[in-house]
Amino acid sequence: MDAPPENWPVNFMGRLREGYHKVAAVVRDEVYRAILEVMADKGLRSVHAATGAALEEWFADRRRKVQNRAESQAGDDPAGTPQRVQSRPDMRGEGA
């Protein structure tokens, strides 16, 4: 029997490699259908594997969004920097 490749989450004894954890959840129908789509798109053979793949995609997307937000706040992305709006003196109410 051949040992699984090094990038597989389980070792040759069927135990999880260090850095991997099993997770489970109860989901609505629409989420389940999305997981089945991931399963079909990636040619996976179980809902468990598809759930893991979907979570990996979600995590990568979330990491990109956080990184982009940090770059934007650092001034690296001028298009993402909020513009300060100044009111004109003639638009201020009385007492302003």
Residue 96 located in a structural domain:
no
Query: Which pLDDT belongs to residue 96?
Result: 47
Average pLDDT on 14-39 reads 88
Residue 84 located in a structural domain:
no
Greater model confidence, 47 or 91? 47
Per-residue pLDDT of 29-88, as tens digits, reads 999 999 999 999 999 999 999 999 999 999 999 999 888 888 877 765 455 555 555 555
Residue 81 located in a structural domain:
no
Residue 29 located in a structural domain:
yes
User: How many domains does the chain contain in total?
Assistant: 1
Q: Which of 67, 31, 68 is nearest to 50 (CA)?
A: 31
Domain containing residue 9:
1-76
Q: Is the pTM of this model over 0.75?
A: no
Residue 51 located in a structural domain:
yes
Q: Which of 57, 21, 59 is nearest to 39 (CA)?
A: 57
Query: Which pLDDT belongs to residue 25?
Result: 83
Residue 93 located in a structural domain:
no
